[in-house]
Amino acid sequence: MKRMQGISVIEVALALAVVAVLTGVAAPAALSALLAVRYASVRAALGESVLMSNRVSVASGGVAVVCPSDPGGRCRDDADWSSGWLVYADIDEDRRFGAGDVLLRRQPPLPDGLRLVTTDGRRRIVFHPDGSNSGSNVTFSLCSRSGDRVESLVLSNAGRLRIAPGSDEQRSACRGR
């Protein structure tokens, strides 16, 4: 009589232990990669919005505005851009999104766990017909809500967006909000 061949309980336990170790090593790397993709996505969306506003204002000879939006599709009057933002041609040049203005883009809310905030002084970015934006440079803080990872996105008055490392002050602000 032939004996039945199969796997033993020890072999199954060993295989499960190997899978558990590999999962423990791979999971943090996968989460880090996912976070990097989310950051890149927000940077790209903000860059596209800035570029669109700049081009529309130059091409039309009018004013284009980028502002943080609320869930109802209106401009917020604070420095938190995490709920998304609006890009619009400000036809009546009153710096408020209204019926006569042309919506160019509505950016949806950021992925869970991410925040995008500016300093309190810059709640709107207004692009003029020469392509510049009024006021001082705008610094966005892109961060995880825990403050573990922070980036600065700096928009110059000439309309150029650059990435810089986040500061300890920005890290603290991300945790506190």
pLDDT of residue 31: 78
Sign of CA dihedral 137, 141, 176, 115: positive
Cα atoms in the 13 Å half-sphere on the side-chain side of 161: 19
- What average pLDDT score do residues 51-67 get? 94
Judging by beta carbons within 10 Å of its beta carbon (0-12, 13-18, 19+), is residue 102 exposed, middle or buried? middle
The pLDDT confidence band at residue 4, using thresholds 50, 70 and 90, is low
The pLDDT confidence band at residue 142, using thresholds 50, 70 and 90, is very high
- What average pLDDT score do residues 77-87 get? 93
Residue range 9-175, CATH number: 3.55.40.10
pLDDT of residue 177: 54
Domain residue spans in the chain? 9-175
The larger pLDDT score, comparing residue 10 to residue 4, is at 10
**Rounded distance between C-alpha atoms, residue 122 and residue 102, angstroms:** 22
pLDDT surpasses 60 at 175: yes
Of the candidates 78, 60, 46, the residue with the CA atom closest to the CA atom of residue 128: 60
The pLDDT confidence band at residue 149, using thresholds 50, 70 and 90, is confident
pLDDT in tens, 14-40: 888 888 887 888 777 787 788 888 889
The pLDDT confidence band at residue 57, using thresholds 50, 70 and 90, is very high
pLDDT in tens, 96-136: 899 999 999 999 999 888 999 987 777 889 999 998 887 77
Q: Which residue has the tokens 């506003």?
A: 53
Question: Percentage of the chain with pLDDT > 90?
Answer: 39
The pLDDT confidence band at residue 176, using thresholds 50, 70 and 90, is low
pLDDT of residue 1: 60
Mean model confidence pLDDT for the chain: 87
